[in-house]
Amino acid sequence: MSAIKNGLFLSLEGVDGAGKSTHIPFIETHLQRLGIEVVVTREPGGTVLGETLRELLLHKDMDIRTETLLMFAARNEHIKQVIEPALVQGKWILCDRFSDASFAYQGGGRELGATAIETLEQWVHPDLQPDQTWLFDLPLEIATQRLQNSRVLDRFEQEQAAFFVRTQQFYHQRAQQDPHRFSLVDSSQPIHTIQQQLQQQLHHLVELWQSR
Ligand SMILES: Nc1ncnc2c1ncn2[C@@H]1O[C@H](COP(=O)(O)OP(=O)(O)O)[C@@H](O)[C@H]1O
Ligand SMILES: [Mg+2]
């Protein structure tokens, strides 16, 4: 399964309402201006089958193990059909959530624990991780307020405060385990300030990538 990676794999993580989707078009446009071919995608989803699974995952009640397995089923399809082929072709992947979200939401939020997720991660993508992951981090009250002002809430977004406390704790734990890959974004700041941080990091990534 190990691919010869030529492109870079970038992911965005954080609780619902943290601002991931808000910043994706900015990152995409900025990378394109710097001459990078970028594929924007999301999890769960990113393929025809994956988007069908997303609908089930966001709207149907199910056992936590079923939920976790469907997340990884969608992810496996996504890796095989979209992520690995693009990386091999030298394109960059910009992905709204990846396995860190399974750690945070199923492992933490739903209290399945880290071990089951680690096992699935090892099985589905032992050799693949994002090169850079932005963790959009903010006080949960702000995230909740933003969400409530913005859209009809799905099965995850409707969860209680304690669920998001656990989810965010698992995100922090995961970031501490892999500080080189994770970059924290204080997403309580104004959008423009966040864009400035992202822009600087993108320039740095492109320079590093071009000088490989
Ligand atoms: N830095 C910010 N300041 C103020 N509002 C924001 C900021 N980032 C995002 N928002 C708003 O918060 C809401 C949720 O953002 P969104 O990007 O959908 O979050 P996510 O994709 O992480 O769930 C949207 O209405 C968005 O416009
Ligand atoms: Mg979003």
pLDDT one-digit tens code per residue, 170-204: 999 999 999 999 999 999 999 999 999 999 999 99
Pocket test for ligand 1, best of 15, 16, 146 (most atoms within 8 A of CB): 146
Q: What mean pLDDT comes out for the span 50-55?
A: 98
What ligand 1 atom has the least distance to the C-alpha of 189?
A: 1
- 48 pLDDT tier (thresholds 50, 70, 90): very high
Q: What was the pLDDT predicted at 4?
A: 55
The domains found in the chain, sorted by start residue, are: 9-210 (3.40.50.300)
What is the tally of helices (H) and strands (E) in the chain? 9, 5
- Residue 194 Cα to ligand 1 midpoint, Å, equals 12
Q: Does the pLDDT at position 25 exceed 60?
A: yes
Instruction: Give Cβ neighbours of residue 57 (< 8 Å, ≥ 6 apart).
Output: 44, 67, 70, 71, 74, 155
Rg (CA), the chain: 16
Distance separating alpha carbons of residues 24 and 136, to the nearest angstrom: 12
* pLDDT over 90 percentage in the chain: 95
Q: What are the strands, taking DSSP E only, across the chain?
A: 9-13, 38-42, 92-96, 132-137, 182-186
The neighbourhood of ligand 2, an ion, using CB within 5 A, equals 20-21
- Residue 188 Cα to ligand 1 midpoint, Å, equals 9
- Residue 16 Cα to ligand 2 midpoint, Å, equals 7
- Residue 157 Cβ inside 6 Å of ligand 1? The answer reads no
Q: What was the pLDDT predicted at 212?
A: 85
Q: Are 38 and 92 in contact (CB under 8 A)?
A: yes
What ligand 1 atom has the least distance to the C-alpha of 187?
A: 1
Between 135 and 212, name the one with better pLDDT.
135
What ligand 1 atom has the least distance to the C-alpha of 191?
A: 1
Q: Are 125 and 2 in contact (CB under 8 A)?
A: no
Of 49, 51, 37, 52, the closest CA to residue 91 belongs to 37
pLDDT tens-digit readout, 113-158: 999 999 999 999 999 999 999 999 999 999 999 999 898 999 999 9
Q: Does the pLDDT at position 1 exceed 50?
A: no
Q: What was the pLDDT predicted at 203?
A: 97
Q: What mean pLDDT comes out for the span 158-171?
A: 97
Coil, strand or helix at 66: helix
- Residue 24 Cα to ligand 2 midpoint, Å, equals 9
pLDDT tens-digit readout, 60-70: 999 999 999 99
Considering every ligand atom, which ligand is closest to the CA of 54? Answer: 2
Mean pLDDT of the chain: 96
Distance separating alpha carbons of residues 108 and 167, to the nearest angstrom: 5
- Structure letter (DSSP) for residue 209: H
Q: Which amino acid is at 89?
A: Q
Q: Are 38 and 127 in contact (CB under 8 A)?
A: no
